[in-house]
Amino acid sequence: MIVNEQVAVDHGLKKDEYAKICELLKRTPNITELGIFSAMWNEHCSYKSSRLHLKKLPTKGKKVIQGPGENAGVIDIEDNDAIVFKIESHNHPSFIEPYQGAATGVGGIMRDVFTMGARPIANLNSIHFGSPQHKKTKNLLRGVVHGIGGYGNCMGVPTIAGQTSFDNSYNGNILVNAMTLGLVKKDKIFYSKAAGLNKPVIYVGSKTGRDGIHGASMASASFDEKIEEKKPTVQVGDPFTEKLLLEACLELMAGDSIIAIQDMGAAGLTSSSIEMASKGNLGIEINLNKVPCRETKMTPYEIMLSESQERMLIILENGKEEQAKKIFDKWNLDFAVIGKTTKSKKIELYFDEEKVADIPVNTLVENSPMYDRKWKKAKLPKKNKIKKENIKHLKIIDVLKKILANPNVCSKEWIWQQYDHTVMGDTIQKPGGDAGVVRVHGTDKAVAASVDSSAVYCWAHPLTGGKQVVCESFRNLISVGAKPIAITNCLNFGSPENEENMGEFVECVQGIGEASEYLKFPVVSGNVSFYNQTKDQGIKPTPAIGGVGLIKDYKNMITMDFKEVDNLVLVIGKTEGHIDQSLFARTVLDEKNGPPPEVNLFNEKNNGETLLKLIDNSLIKSAHDVSLGGIITAVAKMCIKGKKGINIKKPKYLINEIEYFFAEDQGRYIIEINKKDFKKVADILHKNAVHFDELGTINENELYINDKTKVTIDELSTSNKSWLTNYMSK
Amino acid sequence: MKSSVITFPGSNCDRDMDVALKKFGFKNKMVWHADAELPKSDLVVLPGGFSYGDYLRCGSMASKSKIMQSVINFANSGGMVMGICNGFQILVETGLVPGVLLRNKYLEFICKNVFVKINDKKNKYFKNVDNEVLEFHIAHNEGNYFCTNDQLKEIEDNNQIAINYCDESGKIEDQFNPNGSIKNIAGIFNKEKNVLGMMPHPERMIDTSLSGEDGSLFFKNLINNLK
């Protein structure tokens, strides 16, 4: 096939990018080489629109062992233990083929983690769908949930937490972000940097097929009416083979024969070999005839661009091939020496004794395009004034029931019951709480993890929204008694070529950066997913933040269920009555404009750290952060979980009841304490200048407001639990 | 007491079972599926997971694996063999216990706590358990027990039903059946009651910090019965 500008454009490259390739090579690339360039230079692999901005994120900290740039981030959790974690998107494939798209998303992120030598110990996910009324939503939701479960359950890794939301803006582009945490000894972490000359390059895992060719390019473009035709670009997952690959890799890693290891994810053999060569400043020579293939007559182009799953590339020490092969034989996996490292600093491919590609590695990596895209700064919208006549007829209990049954607030039990969340025998906080918690096997330590996003806030004001998501993650970890350590982010946006979408990206990243810097909650890994749009309709900006924290003694973990009748309930943090962009404003008042709640980083940090002090002093019986739906929603969920009621007395405030109960001001928590501890708690809060309200007292099974209105917890529970089950069974 | 846990390539509850057995005093050994010989054991456990991927009927390939011939011989000579979840599916495929396990009625994987009522205590698994009802944990996609009417009659005549899904008080009704199993069957024995297959995972219930502690009751009792 003759390569020309049109062929390059068909590969998703821009005309000037093609010109640059010819200039770098000083010749016209052949088709295999063009395929390699298109795979390495697409948005998904090259981060060409985002790199400039991602550089500004804080990535260092005392507990950070490895920041962005490796397969996943690594943090120190003491005693020579470390946690490897990352979140990644699989949005485009999941929309085209929900089961396989979601399944291979989970498979891919687990591979990123065990590539570094860590055994996966927990999975999380953040999934976003279009309006429940949209004709595709139900099937997409079912497919994605089955896919996530199908893969994770078979691997035997518990899915411990997640987030699901519905919004019109995802009608044509759902989001599926998968996160994995793995446990590794600090001195047994594996990296992807090649080293040494003439070292054997080994291919292990599944055979290469024609699935997923151009998957990464597909994920770097918008959808149009022809997306169904892209089904063949979705990879097909085989969790059983991945389980074998996991066990075989960990067995090999127990020895000392591996120099570098890299999983074949997006752009398969192309990106894995090039990344290893690039990091090691070496060349790699591969004989493509040696690559185990599943199908006959595969061309070099297809072999290099296949995204078949469950494969790894390893650079071994010389002479260790036999010993390594034995392990892979035991697990019935392919093992092939396919090439060697060279000093050429080039990627050189041979097929049928002919050289089929010869590209300097730096042209693919360092010289890949980087764009300073134009972007538009967002204005902070004006505040709305709530009109009295719009709210005076509202009954708080009715509104509460409506909010508890809202698709974005309701119980997601229908989803997480389909995920094995208890395998491995260390899940001490299951899905449905503020964060999932797993013990570090055989120790007193536990790791908490949560995944959050607030697309509506980010859409209303990206800078504030970006900050808010990081704070929410911080709060969720603190609510279970964990000290927040670091985050991973999955940045889901529309087209970077659209100035408004690009502006949303730039300002969300800025917000994330500011908050994580202030909270000492650095970003250690992540992923960018652009082009989440259909024709010119983009999604709401949806950065998802995965936070990880440590609980030193798991017996001190906190849960959100109310524990005991007569205990006191307090609200930590000040309620200003911010209603704009709240769930109340959007669903009850039908008001979509206005600014999101303000984020005050000082209060956020101070309130959170003070709550941790209370927890350390064993003064907290239950805790829950206040988020969607405000104070009353948070309290109702604690009642439902604990099967207890509460007598609420609204504190004397300038704001009215609706504002007090439904506002979504930030930096707030609900806590339960024993009456006898009140003075101690109040002293600590006063000493740290933390505002608090006394909200009420726990009772048997009813929620009272100011002694007047009441509702049984059973009734609230039904509102909260039935929506999703009913929706899915219709 | 010596126990052996068989590890198939896709087993994923083998470690959990190892932890549980050791916690309650068993000297446990992990046995690889490709081995031919079973070590000397008082109890053999087929753990949960996805033995060979289970892309074919669950457990069907595992039932033909090398180690299974020894397990079958061991069972036929009266040895205690317990299959949990995927282990139960494997037992069904070997024919050591009657019936089959179909896909769950609502076609979804289910992971949650359930209550089970002990149907028969004249066996080494449940003898001396004080409770009538235990809170166990299930996590499966194919746990919908089914058998022919003739088989059912035989199972009932021989008192081979081990446990049934029920509510907290022990009521066995359709609404407490999580997967559509015939007669709410959660576990059954072979005729001699030395082989037990059950869907629930007692090994996930051995610690108050986990899903509960009724698994501890089960294992403590089991080791005492074997002494």
Beta bridge partners of B29: B4
- Residue of chain B with shortest Cα separation from A154: B50
Question: Mind telling me how many Å the CA of A240 is from chain B's nearest CA?
Answer: 5
Report the pLDDT value the prediction gives residue A389, as an integer from 0 to 100.
84
The average pLDDT across A251-278 equals 94
CB pair distance less than 8 Å for B209 and A428? yes
For the segment A641-681, what is each residue's pLDDT rounded down to a tens digit?
999 999 999 888 778 899 999 999 999 999 999 999 999 99
- What is the C-alpha to C-alpha distance for residues A709 and A477, in angstroms, rounded to an integer? 33
**Residues in B touching A153 (Cβ below 8 Å):** 109, 139, 141
Question: Which H helix or E strand runs over A106?
Answer: helix A98-114
Instruction: Give the pair of three-digit tokens for residue A662.
Output: 């439904």
Least confident segment among A381-395, A454-468, A631-645, B182-196:
A381-395
Which residues have C-beta within 8 Å of that of residue A163, sequence separation ≥ 6?
A: A125, A126, A127, A451, A452, A453, A544
- What is the C-alpha to C-alpha distance for residues B221 and B219, in angstroms, rounded to an integer? 5
Report the pLDDT value the prediction gives residue A216, as an integer from 0 to 100.
64
Query: pLDDT confidence of A1, banded at 50, 70, 90?
Result: confident
For the segment A610-641, what is each residue's pLDDT rounded down to a tens digit?
999 999 999 999 999 999 999 999 999 999 99
Residues in chain A: 730
CB pair distance less than 8 Å for A156 and B49? yes
**Residues in B touching A154 (Cβ below 8 Å):** 10, 12, 50, 53-54
Beta bridge partners of B28: B3
Least confident segment among A534-538, A545-549, A688-692, B223-227:
A534-538
Report the pLDDT value the prediction gives residue A219, as an integer from 0 to 100.
67
Cβ atoms of A701 and A712 within 8 Å: the answer is: yes
Q: Is the pLDDT of residue A231 over 70?
A: no
Question: Mind telling me how many Å the CA of B98 is from chain A's nearest CA?
Answer: 26
**Number of inter-chain CB pairs under 8 A, A vs B:** 83
Burial zone of B196 (CB within 10 Å; 0-12 exposed, 13-18 middle, 19+ buried): buried
Phi, psi of A684 (to 5 degrees): -65, -40
Annotated catalytic residues of B are 85, 201, 203
Cβ atoms of A606 and A689 within 8 Å: the answer is: yes
For the segment A116-147, what is each residue's pLDDT rounded down to a tens digit?
999 999 999 999 999 999 999 999 999 999 99
The average pLDDT across A71-99 equals 96
Q: What is the ipTM of this complex?
A: 0.97
Report the pLDDT value the prediction gives residue A113, as an integer from 0 to 100.
98
Strand-by-strand arrangement of the A200-205 sheet: A258-263, A311-316, A200-205, A334-342, A283-287, A346-351, A354-360
For the segment A304-348, what is each residue's pLDDT rounded down to a tens digit?
999 999 999 999 999 999 999 999 999 999 999 999 999 999 999
Which CATH number do you get for residue B204? 3.40.50.880
Question: Mind telling me how many Å the CA of A120 is from chain B's nearest CA?
Answer: 12
**Residues in B touching A426 (Cβ below 8 Å):** 210
Q: Which residues 409-438 of A have a C-beta within 8 angstroms of B?
A: 416-428
The helices-and-strands tally (H runs, E runs) of chain A is: 26, 28
Range of the domain at B191: 2-226
Cα distances from A387 to residues A472, A650, B72, in angstroms, run 29, 21, 76
A730 interfaces chain B, CB cutoff of 8 Å: no
Query: pLDDT confidence of A527, banded at 50, 70, 90?
Result: very high
Query: pLDDT confidence of A211, banded at 50, 70, 90?
Result: confident
The average pLDDT across A71-79 equals 97
Output the pTM of the full model.
0.96
How many Cβ atoms sit within 10 Å of the Cβ of residue A198? 10
In the predicted model, what is the mean pLDDT of chain A?
A: 95
Report the pLDDT value the prediction gives residue A222, as an integer from 0 to 100.
75
The average pLDDT across A459-479 equals 98
Report the pLDDT value the prediction gives residue B211, as an integer from 0 to 100.
84
Question: Mind telling me how many Å the CA of B87 is from chain A's nearest CA?
Answer: 14
Number of domains in chain B: 1
**Residues in A touching B20 (Cβ below 8 Å):** 425
Instruction: Give the pair of three-digit tokens for residue A258.
Output: 């591996």
Alpha helices (runs of H) in B55-207, residue ranges in sequence order: 66-76, 86-94, 149-157
**Residues in A touching B212 (Cβ below 8 Å):** none
A296 interfaces chain B, CB cutoff of 8 Å: no
Q: Is the pLDDT of residue A702 over 90?
A: yes
pLDDT exceeding 70 applies to what percent of chain A? 98
Report the pLDDT value the prediction gives residue A391, as an integer from 0 to 100.
87
Q: Is B107 left (phi over 0), alpha (psi -120 to 50) or beta?
A: left
